[in-house]
Amino acid sequence: MRYGLCMAGNGEETGAGGAGAGWLDHVRERLTAKVEEAVQAVCETPTPTTVAEAEKLARAAGVIARAAKAVDALKSRPERKTEEDEMGGEHFDPEEDERLRAELCAHHERLDRILEEKRAEAAERARAKAGNAPLPDRQTPD
């Protein structure tokens, strides 16, 4: 058994494909129908005339929206690709790869500069604390 196959929701019973996916699709279809009924009921509600009615309608719409999002999350995920599947058929744009590489290098260099600055500041503080040198922002008497 591969590590992680059934760990952290990666198993068949969670919709990753296989026999469990059919059952999950059936559940999703039934719940989708119920969410659609709720949407229809809210849409047919007369226009609210009071603030309390408006708030009640807004809460109902929010609950339905969250339910719809949760039901949509139950969609079957495609079966995992193997290394061999990933080797063929996919096209990578060399220009996009180069742009991303340059972006990553620039970000890396920026982080390196920040890290060096922080290390230098820490070293200066350590020297000042040890009494070897004043902090740079302090002025020494003439």
- List, for residues 35-45, the tens digit of each pLDDT value: 999 999 989 98
Q: What percent of the chain has pLDDT over 90?
A: 25
Which amino acid makes up residue 52?
Answer: A
pLDDT attached to residue 10? 44
pLDDT mean over 6-35: 66
pTM: 0.42
DSSP assignment letter at 12? G
Q: Would you say residue 50 has pLDDT above 90? A: yes
Q: Would you say residue 73 has pLDDT above 90? A: no
pLDDT attached to residue 116? 93
- Angle between the N-to-C axes of helices 19-43 and 51-72, in degrees from 0 to 180, rounded to the nearest 10: 160
Burial of residue 74 (number of CB atoms within 10 Å: 0-12, 13-18, 19+): middle
